[in-house]
Amino acid sequence: MANTAKTHTILTAAHWGPMLVETDGETVFSSRGALKTSFVNSLQSAVRDQVHSKTRVRYPMVRKGYLASPASPQGVRGQDEFVRVSWDEALDLIHAQHKRIRETYGPSSIFAGSYGWRSNGVLHKAATLLQRYMSLAGGYTGHLGDYSTGAAQAIMPHVVGGNEVYQQQTSWPLVLEHTDVVVLWSANPLNTLKIAWNASDEQGIPYFEQLRQSGKRLICIDPMRSETVDFFGESMEWIAPHMGTDVAMMLGIAYTLVENDWHDAQFLARCTTGFDLFAKYLLGESDGQPKTAEWASAICGVSAVKIRELAKLFHENTTMLMAGWGMQRQQFGEQKHWMVVTLAAMLGQIGTPGGGFGLSYHFANGGNPTRRAAVLASMQGAVKGGADAVDKIPVARIVEALENPGALYQHNGMDRHFPDIRFVWWAGGANFTHHQDTNRLIRAWQRPELVVISECNWTAAARHADIVLPATTSFERNDLTMTGDYSNQHLVPMKRVVMPQAEARDDFEVFAELSERWETGGRERFTEGKNDLQWLETFYHIAAERGASQQVTLPPFAEFWQANQLIEMPTSEQNGQFVRFAAFRADPQANPLKTPSGKIEIYSERIASFNYADCPPHPMWLEPDEWHGNAEPQQLQLLSAHPAHRLHSQLNHTSLREQYAVAGREPLTLHPQDARARNIQDGDVVRVWNHRGQVLAGAVVNDGIKPGVICLHEGAWPDLDLQADGICKNGAVNVLTKDLPSSKLGNGCAGNTALAWVEKYRGPALTLTAFDPPANA
């Protein structure tokens, strides 16, 4: 029970927005959103569960077989016991083995490219601080790309000269004014707008609320009837193609445009290059197969009548194609967004107010106009005089790098070699929930000589480490952040809510200590003589300088910090009228894109020169290794969508599970006809399996999913039971997903390319242990 005399409210923030936390300095009692909004964000209620959780890593821990013999460890990662040690013992052990490995194998043998959603804030970014320390020590292997958009961010620079997925969109006010038809293609903004890479500005769902009330024609194209479709209700049409067939469906629409002379030949001639070569493929002149609506229908499962109707609708109206990212997290994922751009170019509406395409309306509130802002600086970048990454590998190919040190691979037109990784330090991420084919990852994870994990919780990654260091949550330290990755709408203080729990330490302090072990004066080099508040004041002063150029004045730092209030930045009339590609459309020669031709490249000579079978030089339908079209009897396509009540794996251990767990497991959605064929009832425990692994889940039977597709949301913590044939008791979907690159171009994650079987589970009752710390922890 809170002692109201001692409790107070502290303003802080997380990926899910600014929050007000009730605390007495030792205990968190409650948390809620700090911004006025009519939409409740469930994630904002979980601070107490994050701080006071049985899953917390409380002390430095070392795997027993590693502690006994660090130079030639015994035991198996993921199966060995852990032993508690002091901080000095842990850091001395890390330092000695780091020094040995670096001196023996060189900096490329050290993987410090740890990747994940981290905790929010400009100072305490775990991976940034790790890389700062490693740069002081002489360099490391880092990573390229990310799991979210690996394929798109590789292909889009070839097509439109920028990555597009992390860029500002045509402003929402213009969409609401000018757009007639909005298409959500493989996007579920009601889920994904709860979060941002920084803190959410929480304006995205209110914009979609205005869209719902606008009377515009709204369409969602997705194998699953998402929360967003339910949110829009009767005002939105749901069209469900077979998973992975979006390119074929778009080709059918594109063929219909040409067939009826509805494509904008003038825009294509003036603003694009290569349409003539693409048209030969589209019309079947190059391969003998016209991509008619009937051809597309046979592949995607959407009727030819509907495909033709969409072509006519898009042609006759100002149409905005709001594309999500799930469709490019597939084999040949590069083709998906390339084809979205091609379709938008054929409609001729790119660069108009309300027309064209957008790849981030569903993420971090792209389209919320950028403010005139005092934008914070951050800790990004190497330590002064340090060495940066000496090598980088595509993030989704970490397992192949561990399996095949020195092997040749292709990436975006370059010959590269996998480094020989001997030491992995993962900080601020959960690769065991992120990466595909968990069992393959576990096997590859045995290869390095040392694995260190900095963690708040006993995640699967921590359980598969040699040394685990307890990290503070963002609620146990001081930081700053901005809201809105695109809008920079607010500057928010993140004041410490409670003191660090047990023996948890800030990563900043841990890497400062290790830097001093590395060299005399290393702490001073790492910290530059500043503590946390002095760094925050530095970042704030840089923001004040940036703000001055925008006619924005900030109060003195001490006054701001004491006030415990966010600062909202003023609106910009000019940015409220922003149209993506407007200048390019107006004069392509004066405002060329950063592509070789300066235009939108529907056919890419550069990609043609790479000669990749898995990424041809214009958008094409390529049949994936695992999909509806080659499924074995009773196999279903597996969709790993973004969950509603967590951020990937963050918050899976909290009481929010009560809002979605079925039979105590991760929910598995399947269509009634697929359930009937397998004698599965709503609420049953089911076994889902393929040759990569098996999981238990709780059945959710409804017609809000395409027959032949099942959905198991990504981010559940793996809970493998070695006494029960390695079955995952918590329904972690990546036990089942296929670990293959999207293509040689992007090497992106292809987690949405997978088939699996489902049956009613009739085995012994298995107790969930994912959220129980190791026995002696």
pLDDT band at residue 385 using 50, 70 and 90 as cut-offs: confident
- What tokens appear for 659 in the block? 């809002």
Phi, psi of 718 (to 5 degrees): -60, 140
**Of these residues, 16, 59, 66, 115, which one is catalytic?**
115
Measured CA to CA, the distance from residue 652 to residue 643 in angstroms comes to: 10
Contact 187, 340 (CB under 8 A): no
Give the CA diameter of the chain: 79
Q: Could you report the per-residue pLDDT of 431-460, keeping only the tens digit for each?
A: 999 999 999 999 999 999 999 999 999 999
Residue 17: per-residue pLDDT: 98
CA angle 180, 186, 187 (to 5 degrees): 70
Distances from the Cα of 490 to the Cαs of 17, 486, 487, 571, in angstroms?
10, 11, 8, 11
CA distance 9 to 3: 13
Taking Cα atoms as reference points, which of 375, 768, 296 lies closest to residue 547?
A: 375
User: Is 169-368+581-610 CATH 3.40.228.10?
Assistant: yes
Q: What torsion do the CA atoms of 404, 406, 409, 412 make, to the nearest 10 degrees?
A: 130
Mean per-residue pLDDT, 504-530: 97
How far apart CA 184 and CA 186 sit, in angstroms, is 6
Query: Cα–Cα–Cα angle for 168, 126, 647, nearest 5°?
Result: 55
State how far the Cα of 597 lies from the Cα of 607, in Å rounded to an integer.
13
Residues whose CB falls within 8 Å of the CB of residue 671, separated by 6 or more in sequence, listed in order: 701, 702, 703, 705, 706, 707, 708, 709
Could you tell me which of 64, 50, 5, 86 has the C-alpha nearest to residue 646? 50
Using DSSP's 3-state secondary structure scheme, residue 440 falls into: helix
Question: How far, in Å, CA of 279 to CA of 249, rounded?
Answer: 16
- Give domain limits for the chain: 61-146+374-473+504-531, 169-368+581-610, 628-760
Closest-CA residue to 291 (of 275, 276, 307): 307
The number of CA neighbours under 13 Å toward the Cβ of 109 is 16
Residues paired with 471 in a beta bridge:
505
Question: What's residue 2's pLDDT?
Answer: 55
CB 110 within 8 A of CB 102: yes
Report pLDDT for 496.
Answer: 97
Distance CA 99, CA 110 (A): 11
- Cβ atoms within 10 A of the Cβ of 381, count? 13
Q: Report H helices in 587-671.
A: 605-610
Q: pLDDT at position 114, please? A: 86
117 is catalytic: yes
Mean pLDDT of 163-174: 97
Question: Is the sign of the CA dihedral 624, 290, 313, 161 positive or negative?
Answer: positive
Q: Model confidence over 337-348: pLDDT tens digits? A: 999 999 999 999
Say how far apart CA 737 and CA 61 lie, in whole Å.
31
Q: Which residues pair with 482 in a beta bridge?
A: 491
Reading the block at residue 9, the tokens are 């409210």
Cα-based distances in Å from 520 to 136, 480, 526, 605 = 12, 30, 11, 53
Which uninterrupted H or E stretch holds 273? Answer: strand 272-273
Residue 5: the pLDDT is 66
DSSP-assigned letter for residue 27: -
Summary mean pLDDT of the chain: 96
pLDDT of residue 4: 60
Active site residue 105: no
As a CATH number, domain 628-760 is 2.40.40.20
Nearest to 753 by CA among 389, 327, 234: 327
Least Cα distance to 455 among 473, 442, 441 occurs for 473
Contact of 203 with 41, CB cutoff 8 Å: no
Dihedrals phi, psi of 332, to nearest 5 degrees: 60, 30
Percent of the chain with pLDDT over 90: 96
Ramachandran region, residue 744 (left: φ > 0; alpha: ψ -120 to 50; beta: rest): alpha
C-alpha count within 13 angstroms, C-beta hemisphere, residue 648: 19
Interhelix angle 304-316/334-347, rounded to 10 degrees, is 50
Mean local confidence (pLDDT), 96-104: 98
For residue 1, pLDDT over 60 is answered with: no
Give the length of the chain: 777
Looking only at the bridges linking them, the beta strands covering 479-483 and 17-23 are: unpaired
User: Is the model's pLDDT at 237 over the cut of 60?
Assistant: yes
Domain 61-146+374-473+504-531 has CATH 3.40.50.620: no
Of the candidates 728, 741, 736, which has an alpha carbon nearest to the alpha carbon of residue 754?
736
Residue closest to 481 by CA, chosen among 206, 204, 200: 200
Amino acid code (one letter) for 451 = V
Range name among 2-11, 240-249, 530-539 with the lowest pLDDT average: 2-11
Q: What is the pLDDT of residue 382?
A: 62
Helix spans in 499-604 (H): 507-518, 522-527, 532-548, 557-563, 582-586
- Write out the two tokens for 574: 């000019």
pLDDT digits over 20-76, tens only? 999 999 999 999 999 999 899 999 999 999 999 999 999 999 999 999 999 899 999
Reduce the DSSP state of residue 90 to 3 states and report it. Answer: helix
Beta-carbon contacts of residue 548 (< 8 Å; ≥ 6 apart): 374
List, in sequence order, the alpha helices (H) in 420-531: 431-434, 438-444, 460-463, 507-518, 522-527
- Tokens 């006030």, located at residue: 563
- First CA to last CA distance, the chain: 27
- CA distances, 651 to each of 63, 285, 707 (Å): 26, 52, 30
Each residue's pLDDT tens digit, 608-661: 999 999 999 999 999 999 999 999 999 999 999 999 999 999 999 999 999 999
Q: Give the DSSP letter of residue 505.
A: B
For residue 393, what are the β-bridge partners? 143
Confidence at 127, pLDDT banded by 50, 70, 90: very high
Mean pLDDT computed over 726-734:
98
**Cβ atoms 379, 129 nearer than 8 A:** yes
Distance CA 59, CA 79 (A): 19
Residue 388's pLDDT band (cuts 50, 70, 90): confident
**Distance (Å, rounded) from C-alpha 404 to C-alpha 421?**
10
Q: What confidence tens digit (pLDDT) does each residue in 276-291 have?
A: 999 999 999 999 999 9
CA–CA separation, 15 and 195 (whole Å):
5
Q: Is 301:336 a contact under the CB 8 Å cutoff?
A: no
- Contacts of 470 by beta carbon, 8 Å cutoff, 6+ apart: 56, 57, 58, 59, 60, 455, 456, 502, 503, 504, 505
Confidence of residue 116 (pLDDT cuts 50, 70, 90): confident
SS3 label, residue 155: helix
Structure tokens at 285: 């002149």
Provide the total of helices (H) and of strands (E) in the chain, helices listed first.
26, 31
> Do the domains 628-760 and 169-368+581-610 match in fold?
no
What is residue 539's three-state secondary structure?
A: helix
How far apart are alpha carbons 361 and 356 in whole angstroms?
Answer: 13
Catalytic choice (16, 59, 66, 117): 117
What angle, 0 to 180 degrees and rounded to 10, lies between the N-to-C axes of helices 334-347 and 150-160? 40
| 564/480 Cα distance (integer angstroms) | 11
**pLDDT for 775:** 87
Asked whether the beta carbons of 147 and 642 are under 8 A apart, the reply is no
Q: Which two tokens stand for residue 280?
A: 């030969």
- Can you tell me the distance from the alpha carbon of 617 to that of 612, in angstroms, rounded to the nearest whole number? 9
Closest CA to 158 of 580, 486, 608, 582: 608
For residue 158 the two structure tokens come to 């070839």
Neighbours of 266 (CB within 10 A): 9
* pLDDT, average across residues 119-125: 94
